Amino acid sequence: MDAEEAAQDSLLKVVQKIHDYNGTSQFKTWIHTISYRTAIDYYRKKRHYESIEDRFDLEGGLRADDHVQQDELNKKIEYLLSLLDEDDERLLKLYYLEEMSIKELVGLLGLSESNIKVRLHRSRKWIASQVQQNTRIYEDFR
């Protein structure tokens, strides 16, 4: 799992760079910074996600127009995600596309469990409001 690999790489970097720790910040903060930046690096490397379409079994008897509709929906979802703050976009993708648990996200991002839940809720709520209130949002997309 990527979260475990990022955690292992973080620990390895801490051990390799221990001589660079200068004491200007708390040791805990220094380790957190290394871990956070390692997690961001993993996220960026993996940014070439498989398409949302590939996350679902679409071959199960769907007609060609169903594939077209699903592709259009995927594009709209990606567009809405791109309008979010970068951190919230990353959080939604890690949670829904990478299927990471809240606990894994806590370890990876260094945020509290309640903060992650609130950010996920607010992001979902914002996306839902955009879909319900403003169908014109897709006019810019096309």
Instruction: Pull the structure tokens for residue 127.
Output: 């996306």
Domain definitions of the chain by residue range: 2-141
Query: What is the mean predicted confidence (pLDDT) over 2-22?
Result: 83
Indicate the pTM of the whole model. Answer: 0.49
Instruction: Pull the structure tokens for residue 73.
Output: 């929906």
The CATH architecture that domain 2-141 belongs to is Up-down Bundle (1.20)
Residue range 68-88, pLDDT digits in tens: 676 777 787 888 888 889 899
Say whether pLDDT at 15 is over 90: no
Query: Quick one: pLDDT band at residue 27, thresholds 50, 70, 90?
Result: confident
Residue range 87-138, pLDDT digits in tens: 998 888 888 887 888 988 888 888 999 999 999 999 988 888 877 766 554 5
Long-range contacts of 30-37 (CB under 8 A, 24+ apart): 32/110, 34/10, 35/6, 35/7, 35/10, 35/110, 36/109, 36/110
